[in-house]
Amino acid sequence: MAYPTTGPATWFVTGTSRGLGLELVKQLLRRGDNVAATTRSTERLVQALGTVDTSRLLPLQVDLADQQQVTGAVREAAQRFDGIDVVVNNAGYGFLAAVEEVTDAEARQMFDVQIFGVWNVLRAVLPAFRASRSGHVINVSSILGLTSFPGWGLYCAGKYALNGLTESLAAEVAAFGVKVNLVEPGYMRTDFLLPHSLGLASDATPGYESIREMADAHLAMPGTQLGDPVKAAQAIITMAVSGQAPLHQLLGSDSYQLAKAKIESLAGDIETGHALAVTTDISQPA
């Protein structure tokens, strides 16, 4: 069993000082579970939790791109709570810019959070998961890990990479009894699209006026998103407790519709390109 049937479960959650991560921590603590929560500011996290009982909380200030810090945090959590049952890699942020406008430093920072930080957590937790033949990894991706929009190239690149990493991981550790899921939300009513959370092109390139319009539309979106972070956190808990979710778990009706449209578009491309695809096989002797 990946999830304990008796007593509190222990969760290791990244990116917890706001949004979905914060809501998840609140619900887990109210359930009576143990939570090791990583954040860039433990003070901000504890303040955001307000009156929630934090006696089962281990707040950890961690730079996820620093493997030593991550390994130390996982070790501290396992020692404090006698092991870890569920890992939720949730840390992330949005970025709106044309591909041409993204600097090398901005691209590397995105992958530090979306990929290398996740990889550091996985390296730290998987040996114990394999040894105990249990454990559950839930990687929070996005519908933009399955489809893409203009202006979201950097964010999509990180989430597509996370999806590929997670699919491979799921196949590799299934024989050890370790469960793996991807969560792919649509637009949620959090501060994800607020200016202090969303990266934007530092220098607007002439000709990409449509990208500026898209950025402005997204900055005006907060308060209108369909997704409820309270219900999304509940869904993640349900996934862990039941152990029955598919590898790709969409969240939100918008995510569902976008995923269906992507499947149809991809199927069309595959069929349209079939005739040329088969011409590249090595010819077999008659």
Residues near 48 by Cβ (< 8 Å), separated by ≥ 6? 17, 18, 22
Angle at the Cα of 76 (from 46 to 109), degrees rounded to 5? Answer: 70
How far is it between the farthest Cα atoms of the chain? 77
Give catalytic residue positions: 141, 155, 159
Q: Amino acid letter at 119? A: W
CA-based nearest residue to 129, from 165, 171, 180, 90: 180
* Conformation bin of residue 50: beta by default, left when phi > 0, alpha when psi is -120 to 50: left
Report how far residue 229's alpha carbon sits from residue 186's, in angstroms, rounded to the nearest whole number.
Answer: 11
Helices 153-173, 117-132: axis angle to 10 degrees equals 10
Q: How many C-alpha atoms does 154 have within 13 Å on its Cβ side? A: 26
Report how far residue 224's alpha carbon sits from residue 206's, in angstroms, rounded to the nearest whole number.
Answer: 30
